[in-house]
Structure formats: C-alpha cells, structure tokens
Amino acid sequence: MNRSQFKNSPILVRVAPFALFLLLTFCQNYFGEAGRYWFYLGKTLIGGWLIWVIRPFIAEMRWQISWAAFGVGVGVFALWVGLDGLYPTLDQLSQSYFSPLLKKIGLESWSPKPSGPPNPWNPYLHFGPVSALGSAFVLVRILGSSLVVPPLEEVFFRSFLYRYLARPDFQSVPLGQFLFRPFLITSLIFGFEHREWLPGVLCGFVYQGLVVWEKRLGDAITAHALTNLLLGLWVIWKGAWHFW
C-alpha cells in the first residue's frame, strides 16, 4: 500500500489501517510476557504512522473540541467502570456457553480458547513495581489508547462502516444522517470487538449518536480519546489492570 492507493480508494484508506492495527492487536499476545509490551510499542508506532499517512485523504478525520465531546467522553468512562462486574465478559460467555455447546455437538476442537496470557496487561508484574521500563510501557499504553486507537476506530466504524451499510457509495451518505439499521449493526460490531462487550455496545451507541448530533466525526474522536485516557488513569490509580 502507498499514498496513491490510499488517495484513489476511499474504502482502502479507511479500512486497511484499521484492519492492520486489528491484526497486530490479535498477534500481540503470542510473543511471550515481555514480548507483548514491546509488540504493543511497535503496534502503536505503526498506528501513529498510519494516521499520519492517511490523514490528508480523510477530510472528516479532524479532532473537534466541544462540550458535547467532553460530556460523552466522561460519561462513557463512568459507564465502562460502573458496569464492571455486573455482566459476563466475552471470555466468560465463550467458556460458559459456546464451549459446552460445541462440545455437545462434537465440535470441541473448535471451542474458543481463553485469549491472551494468564496475567493481566501489567508491565510492573514483569519488569518490577518501580521499574522505569514498566512505567514507560504504561505511558505507551495510555498514549496508544488515547491518541492512536480513537482516530483509527472512529474512521472505520463511524466514517466508513456506518455509511457503507446504508449505501455502497458511502461518501454520499451524510455523517449526520440517522439510519437505524447501520446504527444498530455498527454499534454491535464495535461492542463485540471489546472483551467488555456490554459497555462497548452502549459506547458504540453513544459515539455514533454524537456523530449524528454534531454532524461531524471529530467530536467522537475526542470523546473516544478522553474515555480511553480516563480509563488508563483509572487503571493506574485503582490497579484495575483487567481493563487493559
């Protein structure tokens, strides 16, 4: 992929960076305990570079500061933390329901395995509780989730997928147009991309609603970034590493 391909393909420029980032996310837990932190650093740098490359070709990928974005960002953070422990996570659902069902019909080998290493994403456990390297990887995680993830995800879900589900010529669909079916499907896919699927789905509703309300993408990028920043600070403050 090069700049000319991105420039000439509105779909490729919105889908390929997110797909690559998602693939790297899937792979990051297969390189050992120390490897996953270094892999996350590499993934974050690649994601930042991708944003830099595609930014000139996606007019709506511009951060917007507004009271609505601030309120949504804080509200979604509160929702994410407040629902913790009140619902089964995706891993728990998989092991409790899907695995027994597959076993019953003779497809036990297809049963999903628990994802990732047994330890939470906590570099202090591996590098030491007061290690500079541990702190560096915590900072990388916060920066990656706050500055890299939001633009890539919002461009894919809100700029591309929501509008493409409405019409293949997705650029002809205004960002501010409310469409029930794409609204529902996009939010469900966004939610089940996360281990914490329930707040993920609700979060998808809210972010998409913000785009429709403001008729632009930038507020959702800002809200998403604020949510992830606050969640990262919460993880450090409370030691709630399971969120990562």
Residue 178 has a pLDDT of 97
Residue 58 three-state SS? coil
Provide the CA 144 distance to its chain's centre, in angstroms.
11
Contacts for 187 with CB less than 8 Å, ≥ 6 apart: 201, 204, 205, 208
Domain boundaries, the chain: 3-243
DSSP result, 163-200: HHHH-SSGGGS-TT---HHHHHHHHHHHHHTSSSHHHH
Q: How far apart are CA 223 and CA 68, in angstroms?
A: 8
Phi-psi region of 26 (alpha: psi -120 to 50; beta: other; left: phi over 0): alpha
Q: In the 8-state DSSP scheme, what is residue 29?
A: G
SS3 content of the chain, % helix, strand, coil (to 5): 75, 0, 25
Summarised one tens digit per residue, pLDDT across range 81-114 is: 999 988 988 877 776 665 565 566 665 554 445 4
Model confidence, pTM: 0.89
Residue 103 has a pLDDT of 60
Digits of tens for pLDDT over the chain (244 positions)? 667 778 789 999 999 999 999 999 989 888 888 899 999 999 999 999 999 999 999 999 999 999 999 999 999 999 999 999 889 888 777 766 655 655 666 655 544 454 444 578 899 998 998 899 999 999 999 999 999 999 999 999 999 999 999 999 999 999 999 999 999 999 999 999 998 999 999 999 999 999 999 999 999 999 999 999 999 999 999 999 999 8
Residue 96 has a pLDDT of 65
